[in-house]
Chain A
Amino acid sequence: MSENLKLKLSDLSVRYSTKGQSTLAVSKVNLTVKNGEFVSVVGPSGCGKSTLLKVVSGLLKPSEGQALLDGKEIKDVPESIGMVFQNDALLPWKSVFDNVRLPLAIANKSTQEQEERAKDLIQMVGLEGFEQFYPKQLSGGMRKRVALARAFAHDPSLYLMDEPFGPLDAQTRVTIGEEFIKMWERVGKSVLFITHDIEEAIALSDRVVVMSGRPGTIKAEFKVPLERPRPFYDIRFDSRFKEIQREIWESLADIHKESEVSR
């Protein structure tokens, strides 16, 4: 069973210190992602969702507990992860083409391989003809496609996505989400997806984890009993979708009530 686990966080606590203050961001989190599983984490802003990703990507050290990737403790930045940032983190001074080939250039792949792979990926995300454009010249949705193409170029076995569709408008969000789920269903890699959009989380995931804030702890977990491939938009009208959506809302409402009382 355990070799089937891509990621295992056990009793993980993380302390942050900024401006002379030390705060407990995440407390005793237990979370697993199986191979090929799509897991979303939802919760109010500031509940330490992003902190979890930073630990998994090796950018932040946990103060207690363990983070295991493929059964090995995460010490440095692991080889097999790919991060998709909320703000895209594209290089503004590089063209679409250069941004997409960045992971291949870092891996010292041959120029020919870089060009071929980048061309394929740009085509896959529907940006042919925009290879020489700079990020500034693109819309938010197009920049997101570039960021996704770059993540696919790296071809990690675990995608870490930090509210990747957050800054997009509602329509673009649905389009990009739909395209992303199609691409993901093809590659079938594990995903740890952070969002505050419950519908998005259900539509994308196999499992939804609900976190409460300050310090972040895991409140509840929901299996999404919807078969794949799913229609990313229309699935929202499925009765099972509605049911799980209601349950997640209720669990979040509980968190809200508790925090009101504790104040």
Chain B
Amino acid sequence: MSASNSAKVNPSVSDYSDDIAQKQYKGYLRKEKLSTAIGRIIVGIIILGLWEGLSGRLFNEFWLSKPSAIIKRIYELAVSGDLWFHVSFTLQEALIGLAIGMVIGTLAGILLALSGKIDKWLSPYIMALYSLPRVALAPLFVVWFGIGMTSKIIMVIAMVVFVALYNAYEGIKNMDHDLIDMMKTYKAGKMKVLTWVILPSITVWILNSLRLNIGMALIGAVIAELVGSNQGLGYYITYSSSLLDITGVFTGLVLIMIIAVILEQFIIQLEKRLLKHR
């Protein structure tokens, strides 16, 4: 029994029929991708079509604008150069704030989760800060840091830092403790444990917080701009609404959504690279 069965247990690299199965599976995956893409396009067309068709019939175009007007506006803004002027400002604030907030939040989360006592001392205060409506802080940040980009970046950091912190913290708490014991039995130093075990363990949590934080970062940037700015999509939205230019307001909103969707695609690509072991 042992001899004949051990041959079966022994691993063998793919044979011919396995190759065919692999190809079929790849074909199946390609079809899945295609059907997802088509489904998304259809949903988009239905929503935009209803909006376009009902605008001016079911409701007054003045209040909700319509897709064709928004597309036209985006085109005009692009031609005049205003599009990039506003988009780049908001994008810079969001991305710089996101990067700083993610690093600070993730590191704080790791340190806190590994700190033992200090974690218990600080946790109620962190929760207190987290529950602050940070929107209400926006005017304060403008007063403290001026009307320029700094106040907006600070606002973005305030929006994203807690999600990053709590995700990293939970990631550490959910880590497989056997892996840490294993590293200890090989006498691994702190840096080795960090790079071989801790960071890879919480990668999935960091990516998750990054994904949630794209939206938070854009919201933070736009809110800060609404409060006081002379540039950016938030500024463009307030400026348009003060002129009762509803198409302008919706153009700003649509641009924010487009940015969020594009940024999420980057995260999806990043996930594919970092989580290919799953």
Q: In the assembled complex, which residues on chain A have CB atoms less than 8 Å from the CB atom of B187?
A: 77, 79, 106
A156: shortest Cβ distance to chain B, in Å?
Answer: 9
- Contact check, B185 vs A102: say whether CB atoms are below 8 A apart: no
> How far apart are A112's CB and chain B's nearest CB, in angstroms?
19
- Contacting pair A134 B9 (CB below 8 A): no
Assembled-state Cα–Cα distance A23/B6 (Å): 43
The interface-forming segment of B142-150, B175-183, B207-215 is B175-183
Docked-complex contact A91 and B200, CB < 8 angstroms = yes
Q: Which of A173-218 touch B at CB < 8 Å? A: 174-175, 178
Query: B176 to chain A: closest CB distance in Å?
Result: 8
Residues in A neighbouring B197, C-beta threshold 8 A: 91
Do B181 and A93 touch (CB < 8 A)? no
Question: What residue in chain A is nearest B11 (Cβ atoms)?
Answer: A142
Q: Which residues of B contact A178 (CB under 8 A)?
A: 2, 6
Interface-forming stretch among A7-15, A67-75, A124-132, A252-260? A124-132
Q: Which of A43-59 contact B (CB under 8 A)?
A: 57-59
A101: min CB distance to chain B, Å: 11
Whether A83 and B11, one on each chain, are in contact in the complex, defined by CB atoms closer than 8 angstroms, is no
Q: Residues of B within 8 Å of A, CB-based: how many?
A: 28
Q: How far, in angstroms, from A138 to B142 measured CA to CA in the complex?
A: 56
Query: When each residue 128-146 of chain A gets 1 if its CB lies under 8 Å from chain B and 0 otherwise, what string results?
Result: 0110001110110110000
Nearest CB of B to A55, in Å: 13
Identify the closest chain A residue to B8 (Cβ): A171
Asked if B31 CB lies within 8 Å of chain A CBs, one says no
Q: Is B192 an interface residue (CB 8 A)?
A: yes
Interface residue SS majority, chain A = loop
B150 to chain A, nearest CB (A): 38
Known: A94-B196, A141-B9. A134 touches B277 (CB 8 A): yes
Report whether B200 and A93 are in contact in the complex, using a CB–CB cutoff of 8 Å. yes
Q: If A87-B178, A93-B203 touch, does A59 touch B277 (CB 8 Å cutoff)? A: no
Q: Is A172 an interface residue (CB 8 A)?
A: yes
Contact indicator A127/B11 (Cβ below 8 Å): yes
Q: Are A233 and B1 in contact (CB under 8 A)?
A: yes
Please give, as numbers and ranges, the residues of chain B lying within 8 Å of A58 by CB-CB distance: 184
Is A92 part of the contact surface with B, judged by Cβ < 8 Å?
yes
Question: Which of A87, A94, A129, A138 lies in contact with B13, CB distance below 8 A?
Answer: A129
Contact A171 B5 (CB under 8 A): yes
Q: Is the CB of B181 within 8 A of A171?
A: no
Q: Which residue of A lies closest to B274 (CB)?
A: A93
Does A82 have its Cβ within 8 Å of any Cβ on chain B? yes
B5 touches A175 (CB 8 A): yes
A93, B277: Cβ atoms closer than 8 Å: yes
Note all chain A residues with C-beta closer than 8 A to B200. 91, 93-94
The reply on A103 being an interface residue by CB < 8 A is yes
Known: A92-B277, A126-B10. 10 other contacts (CB 8 A): A59-B184, A77-B187, A93-B200, A94-B196, A105-B196, A106-B189, A127-B11, A129-B13, A174-B2, A175-B6
What are 28 A-B residue pairs whose CB atoms fall within 8 Å in the complex? Answer: A57-B181, A58-B184, A59-B184, A77-B184, A83-B181, A83-B185, A85-B178, A85-B182, A89-B179, A89-B181, A91-B197, A93-B200, A93-B203, A93-B277, A94-B196, A94-B200, A102-B186, A105-B196, A106-B183, A106-B192, A107-B186, A134-B277, A135-B277, A136-B278, A154-B186, A175-B5, A175-B6, A178-B2
Q: Which 5 A-B pairs have the closest CB atoms?
A: A89-B182, A134-B277, A93-B200, A233-B2, A83-B185
A-side residues, CB < 8 A to B, are 57-59, 77, 79, 81-83, 85, 87, 89, 91-94, 102-103, 105-107, 126-127, 129-130, 134-136, 138-139, 141-142, 154, 171-172, 174-175, 178, 232-234
